[in-house]
Structure 1
Amino acid sequence: MIDTTARLALPMLHAGQAQKEMTHNEALLALDVLLHPAVEEVGRNQPPDAPSAGQCWILGDAPVDAWAGQASSIAAWTEGGWRFLRGCEGMLLWCRSDGLPVRWLGGGWVTGEVHGTRLMVGGNQVVGGRRPAIASPSGGMIVDVEARTTLSLVLEALRDHGLVAGNAE
């Protein structure tokens, strides 16, 4: 008999189970945390002194006290105490303290990275996949130091942002 759901480990109800409302309420608490989730902080190991109901944290690698043994879990404070939930691949949360997205990828939390194939603004693509390297300016009949300097700075910025590959120099 399966006791929890495969992805979010929500408790399952079973035929003939006593106190089904407790299992059902646990599932509702988990959904309340995981639906459009936001956490106060990522990597914290010490529980806060006075959490408010509904506040959540992503725990660090060495949690202590009431959080002991729950490394990398989502800790949610409820009126009934701490509830711990696990991340699943692709889960996305918002970290209030950093103002950044946090995603569960490859078995751990990654903060501030946004993955995609292109960036759209107003229906227009403004950033796409990385382009091949562009050679730095050289040669020509007339050497224009200012123009070459400007082009070099533009190319350096594009390379620094990863929009074009670096020179194979």
Structure 2
Amino acid sequence: MTIPATFASATPRFGLPLLFSGQAQKEFFVNEAHVLLDALVHARVHGTADIPPSDPVEGEAWLVQPSGQGDWSGNAQSIAVFTAGGWRFIPPQPGMRVFDSVSGRQLHFDDSWKFAADPGLPTGGTTVDLEARAAIGQLVAALRDLGLFARTPG
């Protein structure tokens, strides 16, 4: 399990290291900040899991389930990013969004990771308005294309 470095001076939300005048080994601090930014800017995860994949590729990220095990133990709901140095864990912040490439939808963090449920399409009823149903269907399809709903219903 990778133990994250702690920095005397860091940004408040994500702990990006800050440089100070006369600092030695600036490369380490700058490189660490770049690794974290690479994971956070337009964040994408490859789904959720409770155990690390057996053969991770550098740069891939996952959301750690509350039942995280092994190297992921104690990092529930964090974004686990595999880097050359091992696993890095980024604790989620309120309002944070990531794209789940497995489900094809956006997730939003607000005490836990949440996603918009697919509303389904209207069926039945005593009065059927085909044009309204078609418009609703197009709206739901557009929201799927934007990643707000899963690509396929269900």
When normalised by structure 1's length, the TM-score is 0.63
Asked whether the equivalents of residues 101 and 113 of structure 1 are also in contact (C-alpha less than 8 Å), the reply is no
With over 3 angstroms needed to count, the CA separation of the structure-2 counterparts of 1:16 and 1:101, relative to structure 1, is same
Q: Which residue of 1 aligns with 2:108?
A: 103
Q: Which 4+ runs in 1 deviate beyond 6 A?
A: none
Asked whether the equivalents of residues 57 and 76 of structure 1 are also in contact (C-alpha less than 8 Å), the reply is yes
Match of 2:41 among 32, 35, 39: 35
Asked whether the equivalents of residues 102 and 113 of structure 1 are also in contact (C-alpha less than 8 Å), the reply is no
Q: Which amino acid aligns with 1:54?
A: G
Deviations 1:87-119 (A, max 9, x none): 1121111001111111112x22112369xxxxx
Q: Which moved more, 1:63-72 or 1:26-35?
A: 63-72
Select the structure with the greater relative contact order (CA < 8 A; seq sep ≥ 6): 2
Superposition CA RMSD, Å: 2.5
Q: Which residue of 2 aligns with 1:16?
A: 22
Q: Which residue of 2 aligns with 1:46?
A: 51
When normalised by structure 2's length, the TM-score is 0.68
Q: Which residue of 2 aligns with 1:72?
A: 77
Larger Rg: 1
| Aligned-partner Cα distance in 1 for 2:99–2:117 | 12
User: How many pairs does the alignment contain?
Assistant: 120
Runs of at least 5 residues in structure 2 that lack an aligned partner in the other structure: 1-6, 119-124, 137-154
With over 3 angstroms needed to count, the CA separation of the structure-2 counterparts of 1:3 and 1:97, relative to structure 1, is same
| Aligned-partner Cα distance in 2 for 1:2–1:88 | 21
